[in-house]
């Protein structure tokens, strides 16, 4: 229960950052925080009381409880997608900096600079 | 001031929306039906020790294919935005310790990455993790070498071939086994050995090569654009 609240709080921190900050890099950081909060939430939702990692390596006692493997698989893919989109976001930021010499979104007004 | 108030209201509204997720959840002690089926069936049907790998590569193989596509599109976008330019001199040349240590560590890290993606069906790890580890080895090399030539043509070639091979294994599964990306194309082999669980090591090798080369080319583009 308390861990879910903390994950949601982390998500809200990222949301606050996106709404308040004006620097593109900080906006990207806010987005990443939100993304990782969602990943954390999924992994926590797949936890089972006293569960171990779902890897059967021979010397497990019979009747061992495993955590849910499905959220782990989904989060694994989500992390890699997050990496790709973050790289894309950063390259947009690089292009914007080349064109406007600033990361401040308030100063990026003209479309044809 | 009024703007800040609206921001706080928006955050609070989001918090209210998320309350059901928090209150309706608790760590139970039993797996639901889908997860229990995966845990029971994966070792018997597919011969994998790592259930997560079985879910990623076989049970939810189509999702993984879509994810590989997303990563490919992101890489293509980065390549489109950051055109390759002449290589600028590094701001500060790497120190002796960094360059020597980097050159010693880099092949070991690549080897570890290959271990991680080829043992994805037995131990924690897999294609995506192995690919990222290989990319970190090249990042270290980029930081520690004064000039590291990255042959982007070779990277593109490896990436295309492994992506195509991944799809080809998937379609072969459709023709020769139970369905698209079915890993029972090859015999299951001895449980727990390296060459077991059908095509899963093969698919993870292709994914590892593809992810690794894609991330290396992203790093190369980000580095040479200055």
Domains of chain A: 2-47+66-100 (1.10.287.3510)
**Coil, strand or helix: which one is A104?**
strand
**pLDDT of amino acid B183:** 76
Strands, E assignment, B1-154: none
What digits encode the pLDDT tens for the residues B181-210? 777 777 777 777 777 778 888 888 999 999
* Mean pLDDT of the A30-46 span: 91
Residue-level pLDDT at B112 = 94
Question: Residue B126: what pLDDT?
Answer: 85
The torsion region of residue B214 among left (phi > 0), alpha (psi -120 to 50) and beta comes to alpha
Q: Cβ A95–B124 below 8 Å, yes or no?
A: no
Task: Convert the pLDDT of each residue in B59-74 to its tens digit.
Answer: 888 888 888 899 899 9
The pLDDT of residue B145 is 79
- Residue A43 has a CB neighbour count (10 Å cut-off) of 18
d(CA B218, CA B222): 6
Sequence-distant (6+) residues with CB within 8 A of A58 are B192
Q: In terms of pLDDT, which residue wins out, A18 or B180?
A: A18
How much is the pLDDT for A31? Answer: 93
DSSP strands (E only) in chain A: none
Nearest CA in chain B to A16: B11
Distance from CA of A59 to the nearest CA of B (A): 12
- pLDDT computed for residue B115 by the predictor: 92
Distance CA B121, CA B42 (A): 11
CB B69 within 8 A of CB A77: no
Single out the residue of B173, B197, B181 nearest to residue B48, CA to CA: B197
Question: Given B78, B124, B128, which is nearest A53 (Cβ)?
Answer: B124
CB B146 within 8 A of CB B99: yes
Domain ranges for chain B: 53-78+108-226
Does the pLDDT value for residue B129 go beyond 60? yes
For testing contact with chain B, the best of A8, A51, A53, A84 (most B CBs within 10 A): A84
Distance CA B55, CA B42 (A): 8
* Sheet strands (E) in B94-168: none
> Which residue in B has a C-alpha nearest to residue A56's C-alpha?
B49
Q: Which residues of A touch B221 (CB under 8 A)?
A: 91
Per the structure block, which two tokens stand in for B210?
A: 């593809």
| Least confident segment among A22-36, B35-49, B56-70, B98-112 | B35-49
In angstroms, rounded to a whole number, what is the distance separating the alpha carbons of residues B148 and A42?
40
In this predicted structure, what is the pLDDT of residue A83? 87
**Residue-level pLDDT at A10:** 93
Minimal Cα–Cα distance from A93 to chain B, Å?
10
Which chain B positions have a beta carbon within 8 Å of A12's beta carbon? 11, 14-15, 18
- The torsion of the CA quartet B143, B144, B149, B155, rounded to 10 degrees, works out to -60
Q: How far apart are CA B63 and CA B221, in angstroms?
A: 28
Residue A51 pLDDT greater than 70, yes or no: yes
Does the pLDDT of residue B119 top 80, yes or no? Answer: yes
How far apart CA B178 and CA B201 sit, in angstroms, is: 18
What is the percentage of chain B residues whose pLDDT exceeds 90? 20
Between chain A and chain B, how many beta carbons pairs sit less than 8 Å apart?
Answer: 145
Query: What is the reported pLDDT for B206?
Result: 92
Q: What is the three-class DSSP state of A52?
A: strand
The SS3 call for residue B12 is: helix
Identify each DSSP E strand in B33-77 by its residue range.
none
Whether the predicted pLDDT of B125 surpasses 80? yes
Binning pLDDT at 50, 70 and 90, where does residue B88 land? Answer: low
Q: Tokens at residue A46, please?
A: 């797949």
Question: CA-nearest residue of chain B to A44?
Answer: B27
3 state DSSP class of A62: coil
**Chain B residues with beta carbon closer than 8 angstroms to that of A80:** 67, 71, 128, 132, 211
**pLDDT at residue B177 tops 70:** yes
Closest-CA residue of chain B to A13:
B11
User: By percentage, how much of chain B surpasses pLDDT 70?
Assistant: 92
Q: How far apart are CA A9 and CA B34, in angstroms?
A: 29
Residues A61-97: tens digit of each pLDDT: 777 778 888 888 889 888 888 888 899 999 989 888 8
Mutate to test the interface with A, among B17, B43, B47, B52 (most CBs of A within 10 A): B52
ipTM of the complex in this document: 0.82
pLDDT, average across residues B11-40: 79
State mean pLDDT over B137-144: 89
Split at pLDDT 50, 70, 90, the class of B86 is: low
From the list B54, B75, B124, the residue facing A84 with the nearest CB is: B75
Which DSSP symbol is given to B190?
S
**Mean pLDDT across chain B:** 84
What's the CA gap between A7 and B18, in Å, rounded? Answer: 10
Mean pLDDT of B143-152: 77
- For residue A89, the distance in angstroms to the closest alpha carbon of chain B comes to 9
Average pLDDT over residues B215-224: 85
The confidence score (pLDDT) of residue B209 equals 92
């Amino acid at each position: 229960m308390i861990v879910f609240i903390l994950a949601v709080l982390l998500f809200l921190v990222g949301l606050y950052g996106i709404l308040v900050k004006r620097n593109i890099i900080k906006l990207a950081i806010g987005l990443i925080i939100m993304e990782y909060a969602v990943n954390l939430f999924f992994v926590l939702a797949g936890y089972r009381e006293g569960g171990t990692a779902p890897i059967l390596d021979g010397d497990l006692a019979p009747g061992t409880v495993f955590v849910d493997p499905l959220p782990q698989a989904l989060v694994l893919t989500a992390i890699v997608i997050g990496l790709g989109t973050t790289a894309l976001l950063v390259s947009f930021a690089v292009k914007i900096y080349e064109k406007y010499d600033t990361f401040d979104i308030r100063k990026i007004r003209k479309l044809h600079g | 001031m009024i703007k800040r108030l609206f921001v706080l209201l928006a955050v609070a509204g989001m918090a209210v929306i998320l309350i059901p997720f928090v209150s309706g959840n608790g760590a139970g002690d039993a797996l639901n039906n889908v997860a229990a089926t995966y845990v029971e069936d994966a070792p018997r049907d597919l011969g994998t020790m790592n259930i997560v790998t079985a879910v990623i590569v076989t049970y939810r193989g189509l999702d993984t294919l879509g994810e590989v596509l997303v990563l490919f599109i992101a890489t293509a976008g980065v390549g489109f935005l950051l055109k390759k330019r002449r290589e600028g001199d590094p701001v500060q040349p790497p120190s002796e310790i960094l360059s020597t240590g980097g050159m010693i560590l880099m092949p070991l890290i690549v080897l570890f990455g290959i271990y991680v993606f080829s043992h994805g069906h037995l131990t924690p790890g897999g294609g995506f993790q192995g690919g990222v580890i290989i990319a970190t080895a090249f990042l270290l090399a980029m930081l520690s070498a004064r000039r590291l030539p990255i042959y982007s043509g070779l990277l593109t070639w490896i990436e295309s071939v492994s992506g195509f091979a991944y799809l080809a294994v998937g379609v072969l599964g459709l023709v020769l086994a139970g369905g698209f990306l079915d890993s029972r194309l090859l015999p299951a082999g001895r449980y727990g050995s390296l060459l077991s669980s059908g095509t899963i090591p093969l698919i993870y090798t292709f994914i590892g090569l593809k992810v690794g080369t894609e991330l290396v080319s992203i790093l190369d583009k980000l580095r040479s654009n200055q």
